[in-house]
Structures are given as C-alpha cells and as structure tokens.
C-alpha cells in the first residue's frame, strides 16, 4: 500500500475560520473576512466550532490523496464515504489486468498451507483472464473473473468533515484491517499537514466512548454504559 497527500486547500484553518466569522459576525463582509484573522483568532474559531459541533465550515477545505496497492475490496468500502468525497479509480474496462497484483491479508499469511493455495488460485484466475482476452472477450467482460484481492489505484478527495467521519469509523479496531491501515496512514498525513484540524480525529474511542454497542472491543465505555452511569448519578443525587 502506498498513500500520498497530493494536495489540500491552501491555509485551510483560515478558510474555516473565515466561514465561521461570516456565520457569527453581524458586520463581517467578504472583502474583509481574512483581514484580522490572526493565528490566535483562527485557532479559537476552529476550536469553538469543533466544541459546538458546528461542522459545516469544515466542508470548505479538501484533501486529495493518491492511493495504490490496495484491493478492490477496499474500494467497495471506501466509496461508501461518498458524501463530501470524490473518487477517480483505475478502470478495469480500459486497462488490462494481464499481470495483476493482489493483496494477501495478514490473516491468510498466518496459515502457510492455505496461503500457498490462495496464491495458486490467483495464478489460475490470471491464466483464465488472459485466455478470455486472447479469445477476444472484451476486457470489460473478462474482468468478471477477477478477485476482490486485485490491486487498484485511485485518487480520493475528501473535505475535513468527511475525513473526520471516515477516521471515526475506519480507524476503529473493528474496521477491516486493510482499510484501517489506509485510514491510519491518511490520518497521519493529515495531522502532519494540518495538526489543528486533525488533533482530535480518529476512532470514536479516542474521544472517550464507543458507538459500537454490543460489538465494542471494550477499550472505551459504550454510549449505553455512559447513559446508564449518568442516570445512576442523577438518581443518586
């Protein structure tokens, strides 16, 4: 897996602070929005917005990633984050997979005998795909035999609000291992580029609670447990 942060909105914190200023200031106008936004005011705006849960200003800033060496199974998962996100993906209709690479999950690598069988199956699929293409079957139809493990590459753009949501779900230990690795790598890149915006980003348990209910890994109390504790405290008082 290779992940690069290709670009992002210039001065994203200032853009977000300007949007917040426009929302809350009666006298703010477009021509002067950025004029008095000192670093201290920018930080204050960003922190206030986050604490209030006022997330719409964060939609004005986007981050674009180049991603390759990931599976089509991961593609099926990441494209569920389509609100506030854009995707451009290598086409199996126009691009040949005559020598496709593929992902071998760590959970399969641990079983040596079955890992050998897994790789042999990939080789069989490769041979059959190539044979279909040789017979004149269009690549768009021959691809039907290709596995979810097949490598793909993509360009992904997400705004900050969607990135928060993505990290909240996919950095969780219950997320599938490949997309969790991707999410953690993307989060690291985001924190390096914009530490203020992504200081508190990550799995929900990083904020002190778990939304997974009975499926929780147990690292943080569930929302139900927190509610029960709160009710108990209120009744006890």
Classify domain 2-88+154-202 at the CATH class level. alpha beta
How much helix, strand and coil, in percent to the nearest 5, is found in the chain? 55, 15, 30
| Element containing residue 194 per DSSP (H, E) | none
- Span 80-115, pLDDT tens digits: 998 889 999 999 999 999 999 999 999 999 999 999
Mean pLDDT of 212-216: 70
Any catalytic annotation for residue 170? Answer: yes
Q: Alpha-carbon distance 195 to 46, whole Å? A: 12
CA distances to 21, 25, 187, 210, 225 from 229, rounded to whole Å, are: 38, 39, 32, 14, 6
Percent of the chain with pLDDT over 70: 88
- Beta-carbon contacts of residue 106 (< 8 Å; ≥ 6 apart): 177
Nearest to 89 by CA among 106, 102, 76: 76
pLDDT reported for residue 231: 60
pLDDT reported for residue 28: 64
Burial (Cβ within 10 Å: 0-12, 13-18, ≥19) of residue 173: middle
Query: Which residues are bridge partners to 186 per DSSP?
Result: none
Nearest to 129 by CA among 76, 154, 89, 92: 92
How many Cβ atoms sit within 10 Å of the Cβ of residue 150? 21
pLDDT reported for residue 27: 67
DSSP H helical ranges for 25-111: 39-52, 72-78, 106-109
- Per the prediction, the chain carries an average pLDDT of 89
pLDDT reported for residue 227: 61
Residue 88 phi, psi dihedral angles, 5° rounding = -125, 125
Contact 71, 102 (CB under 8 A): yes
Order of strands, sheet of 151-159, starting from the edge strand that comes earlier in the sequence: 2-8, 62-71, 151-159, 85-89
Query: Which residues are bridge partners to 68 per DSSP?
Result: 2, 153
Residue of 80, 170, 174, 191 with catalytic role: 170
Confidence grade of residue 24 (pLDDT, cut at 50, 70, 90): confident
- What are the start and end residues of each CATH 3.30.1360.170 domain in the chain? 2-88+154-202
pLDDT reported for residue 158: 97
Residue 230 has pLDDT above 60, yes or no: no
The whole-model pTM stands at 0.86
């Amino acid at each position: 897996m290779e992940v690069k942060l290709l670009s992002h909105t210039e001065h994203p914190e200032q853009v977000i602070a300007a949007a917040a200023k426009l929302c809350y200031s009666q006298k703010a106008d477009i021509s002067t929005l950025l004029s008095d936004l000192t670093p201290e005011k920018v930080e204050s705006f960003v922190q206030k917005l986050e604490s209030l849960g006022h997330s719409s200003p964060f939609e004005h800033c986007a981050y674009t990633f180049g991603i390759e060496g990931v599976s089509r199974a991961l593609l099926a998962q990441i494209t569920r984050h389509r609100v506030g996100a854009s995707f451009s993906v290598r086409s199996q209709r126009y691009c040949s997979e005559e020598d496709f690479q593929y992902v071998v999950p760590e959970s399969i690598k641990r079983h040596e005998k079955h890992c050998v069988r897994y790789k042999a199956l990939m080789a069989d699929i490769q041979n059959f795909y190539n044979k279909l293409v040789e017979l004149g079957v269009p690549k768009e139809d021959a691809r039907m035999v290709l596995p979810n493990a097949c490598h793909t590459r993509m360009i992904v753009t997400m705004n900050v609000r969607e990135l928060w949501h993505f990290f909240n779900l996919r950095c969780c230990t219950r997320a599938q291992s490949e997309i969790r690795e991707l999410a953690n790598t993307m989060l690291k890149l985001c924190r390096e580029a914009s530490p203020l915006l992504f200081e508190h980003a990550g799995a929900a348990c990083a904020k002190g609670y778990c939304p997974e209910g009975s499926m929780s890994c147990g690292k943080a109390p569930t929302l139900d447990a927190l509610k029960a504790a709160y009710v108990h405290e209120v009744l006890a008082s």
